[in-house]
Structure 1
Amino acid sequence: MSIPTSTSVSESAVIAAPFSDVWHLIKLQDFSKFWSNLDKSERAKEASGETDIVQWTFKDGTVLDVKQEEHSSIDHFITYSVISSQPALSYTSVVSTIRVYPVTSGEHEGQTFITWSGNFSSDADAGVIADAKFKRREALSDLAKAASAGKK
């Protein structure tokens, strides 16, 4: 019996690094520069000039083709979807968005606030959502380390 669950996840963090140091790292093809779970992230060979598709190869052997759906250097966000996976995913689809904000006042002024959300198809189970939550938390922690190293 499946457990009813929300099919969305959202994680956030305050990163002790300037906005520009964090935003600079938010490019699908550059995720392996900070995310310790990724072995490599590179443009997919079958991508056309019209479509931004990046292949993420995880250290556990999973390979995801992710398609950049939207990118705004004005509003500082990137939205992407997973278009294929080896091995196959247990759910039909997921669309994720990473948003980056400069903290402009208060005790964290000069630092960066970031959110990473994911909206899954209704066939994603509680295990998928929990896994997505922990992967995002780990990636945000890795991003904080990479961005902080960049400011030294």
Structure 2
Amino acid sequence: MATRVTESRVIQAPIDKVWEKIRSLDLSLWLDTVNKVELTGASGEVGSLRKVTFKDGTLQVFHLLELSDLHHSVTYDIIESHPAITVMSAVHSISLERISHDNTTFIEWSSDFSNDVNQEVLQDSKFKKQEGFASLIKALGV
């Protein structure tokens, strides 16, 4: 069974505008399902934490593993979740690429799960990424 879920999309906005929403890992800036994000540590500091409260009451703590302004990418894992998630681990990455032809942005969001993941979690991850892209497009006003 595959343990990676990847979704991608072309966003009709320049990479700098999209990166402005993604870089801080403050999902409340663009994800409709997030109520608030509380930051522990500096925004661009690897190792910093984000306490993410979703509108459905779910609370998760994201740990920033990697941040690259050069490559327009951010990687994080979820170190705490209430209610608990059903996998031992999951590492998520969002990366952007400039499309020079028309000054748009290619975005890719991938998640690598531990091998105890089931098909339901993989499908949910796929759906949430698609939903997230729609929210991002709405937040960008494009």
- Whether TM exceeds 0.5 here: the answer is yes
Q: Structure 1 regions of 5+ residues with no counterpart?
A: none
Within a 5 Å distance, the mapping from 1:2-151 to structure 2 comes to 5-44=1-40, 51-105=47-101, 109-148=102-141
Q: Specify the structure having the higher radius of gyration (Cα).
A: 1
**Stretches of 4+ aligned residues off by more than 6 angstroms:** none
Shift of 1:148: 3.0
Residues 123 and 28 of structure 1: is their aligned pair in 2 closer, same or farther, counting only changes over 3 Å? Answer: farther
More strand by share: 2
Following the alignment from structure 1 to structure 2, what is the Cα–Cα distance between the partners of residues 33 and 65? 17
Percent identity, aligned pairs only, is 36
* TM-score normalised by length of structure 1: 0.86
Unaligned runs of 5+ in 2: none
Task: Tell me the matched-pair count.
Answer: 139
How far does the alpha carbon of each residue in 1:72-127 deviate from its partner, in whole angstroms, 9 at most, with x for none? 0011100000001001111100001100111101xxx1111100000000111000
SS at match of 1:84: strand
Q: Contact (CA 8 Å) 1:29, 1:42: kept in 2 or not?
A: no
